[in-house]
Amino acid sequence: MPRSRKVVVTQRFFDDSTQAYLRANGCEVEIASLPEGKADGDLSHEALVELLAGAGGWIVGHARVTRQLLEALPDLQIVSRRGVGFERVDLEAARALGRVVTIAAGGNDASVADHVIGLMLAVARRFRESQQRMIDGDWSILMGSDLCEKTVGVVGLGRIGKSVVRRLAGFDCKVLVHTNRPDPDYALATGVEFVDLPDLLARSDYVTLHAPLTPRTRFMIDERAIQGMKASAILINTARGGLVEDQHLLSALREGRLAGAGLDVFVSESDPSYGAVSQALLGQPNVVCTPHAGASSREGLNRTNLIAARSVVAVLDGDNPPPECVVADGRPAH
* Whole-angstrom distance, CA of residue 141 vs CA of residue 134: 10
How do the pLDDT tens digits run along the chain, 334 residues long?
567 899 999 998 999 999 999 999 999 999 999 888 888 988 999 999 999 999 999 999 989 999 999 999 999 999 999 988 888 899 999 999 999 999 999 999 999 999 999 999 999 999 999 999 999 999 999 999 999 999 999 999 999 999 999 999 999 999 999 999 999 999 999 999 999 999 999 999 999 999 999 999 999 999 999 999 999 999 999 999 999 999 999 999 999 999 999 999 999 998 999 999 999 999 999 999 999 999 999 999 999 999 999 999 999 999 999 999 999 999 997 5
Q: Tally helices (H) and strands (E) across the chain.
A: 13, 13
3-state helix, strand, coil in the chain (%, to 5): 40, 15, 45
pTM, two decimals, is 0.87
Burial 20-42 (b: 16+ CB within 10 A, else e): ebbeebebebeebebeeeeebee
Q: What is the CA radius of gyration of the chain?
A: 21
Q: Of 163, 168, 170, 196, nearest to 182 (Cα)?
A: 196
- 240 is a catalytic site residue: yes
Quote the Cα angle for 307-310-311, to 5°.
90
269 noted as active-site residue: yes
Contact 5, 27 (CB under 8 A): yes
Distance separating alpha carbons of residues 190 and 184, to the nearest angstrom: 10
Distance CA(127)–CA(115), nearest Å, equals: 15
Contact between residue 216 and residue 244 where contact means Cβ atoms under 8 Å apart: no
CB-based contacts of 105, cutoff 8 Å, min separation 6? 84, 159, 307, 322, 324, 325
The residue annotated as part of the active site, out of 88, 95, 159, 292, is: 292
CB atoms within 10 A of CB 82: 28
Residue ranges and CATH numbers for the domains of the chain are: 6-107+297-329 (3.40.50.720), 109-289 (3.40.50.720)
| One-letter amino acid for residue 284 of the chain | Q
Of residues 62, 126, 210, 240, which has the active-site annotation?
240
